[in-house]
Amino acid sequence: MAKRVFINNISAVLPNKKVSNSEMETVIGKIAGKKSRAKPVILRSNGIKSRYYGIDPETGEFNYTNASLAAEAVRNLFDSEADLHAIDSLVASTSMADQVMPNHAVMVHGELKNPPCEAVSTSGICLCGITALKYAFLNIKSGESKKSVVVASELASGIMKSENFEAECEHKISQLDAHPEIAFEKDFLRWMLSDGAGSVLVSDQANTDGISLEIDWIDVYSFANEMEACMYSGADKKDGQLVGWMNYSAKEREQLSIMSVKQDVKLLNENIVRTTVEKALSKIINKRNISAEDYDFFLPHYSSHYFRERLFEGLVNVNFSIPYDKWFTNLTEKGNTGSASIFIMLEELFTTKELKSGQKILCYIPESGRFSAAFMQLSVV
């Protein structure tokens, strides 16, 4: 008989102090000493007012690694080392680990120094946090694990600092380019992404005191069979195809900022709602026999306020209209923390709202990497 699966605790870590829009270039730097012309336009559109970076504001140096940020979020789940030592599975994921190898989960385990346990990392961009949770969910449901920790973390600032783009600007200047700005698809994400970590403790038993969130189901769909890559790093895009970093020399990787994160904004705008909301949710409505009226809260992970109304329209188009007063997001104050965003939202919902037994929560996590989507249903217990 399959086990029931419960989220018993949630934690979130936002490093250092809040960074306002006006302070951003002070922290992550100006490229070639010039203010970004795209920044004010992008910030007006995304609606983000503040975010956090793992960079010491006094020294300008990193005071977190991605692994240490994740480990802090995990530790915050527990009252004692003994409780941490009781876990049998650690699933830790991120879009951009501190290194290519070894995997992120074993690095987080190394930071935590809890006894030997299963350590797994799922790959992806915004979706890797929820696929990590699905691994833990299935692990417990099957009886293979009794107590798992899932953590998603992002240290996006590591790839957004201005010095990562200086070689490209110098290369453009040497080619007598009259406007040596980095390409918009690279500059765009410097003003969209921020740092943070979120973690959940998952087990086969509900809390005896206080509330738990039962995971009813998690559905994940990739539409890569239909769509080309839209958000990528460690590659360049030519004629709709990605050319990986190993095809470039070290000099070319530097001159073309190959390791930067890039977004095909036109492709994103034309397809993100149609694919990750309308197509994905239509499948789930048929599979799960759900309706919009089932839900008390809707937690959508969207990267920009620009997509809020378009997301609502997408829901309407599949006859799944959830009124705005049921929506819960903290994008404006806590920024877009990628794979960690859904956990950072859940932590705030868990700690600030008077949740009542029987209430249902629907979570939506899209990914524009090559267009994927996840939906998750939680029940308050």
- Within 10 A of 280 (CB to CB), how many other CB atoms are there? 24
Residues whose CB is less than 8 angstroms from the CB of residue 235 and which lie 6 or more positions away in sequence, other chains included: 229, 242, 243, 244, 245, 258
Closest CA to 123 of 161, 150, 94: 94
Radius of gyration of the chain from its Cα atoms, rounded to whole angstroms: 21
Last-in-domain residue among 181, 209, 237? 209
Last residue of a domain, one of 209, 244, 270: 209
Q: How many residues does the chain have?
A: 381
Q: Are residues 194 and 287 in the same domain?
A: no
163 and 302 inside one domain: no
303 and 191 in a single domain? The answer is: no
Segment 251-304, tens digit of pLDDT: 999 888 898 889 898 999 999 999 999 999 999 999 999 999 999 999 999 999
By residue range, what is the domain housing residue 312?
Answer: 218-225+262-380
pLDDT (0 to 100) of residue 57? 87
What does the pLDDT read at residue 163?
63
The reply to whether 234 falls in a domain is: no
Residues 203 and 284 in one domain: no
d(CA 348, CA 336): 15
Question: In 10 A of CB 29, how many CB atoms?
Answer: 18
Q: What is the CATH number of the domain that holds 73?
A: 3.40.47.10
In this structure, the answer to whether residues 186 and 313 fall within a common structural domain is no
Q: Give 25: exposed, middle or buried? Use CB within 10 Å, 0-12, 13-18, 19+.
A: middle
Predicted pLDDT at 173: 45
Q: Flag residues of the chain having pLDDT under 70.
A: 32, 162-186
Are 280 and 203 in a shared domain?
no
Q: How many domains does the chain have?
A: 2
User: Which of 180, 141, 197, 134 shows the shortest CA–CA distance to 30?
Assistant: 180
Rounded to whole angstroms, the Cα distance separating 379 from 381 reads 6
Together in a domain, 201 and 310: no
Q: Which of 185, 209, 233 is the last residue of a domain?
A: 209
The pTM score is 0.94
- Phi first, then psi: give them for residue 93, nearest 5 degrees: -135, 155
Q: State the Cα–Cα distance between residues 373 and 275, nearest whole angstrom.
A: 8
Is 292 found in the same domain as 153?
no
- Distances 160 to 8, 53, 232 between C-alpha atoms, Å: 35, 10, 14
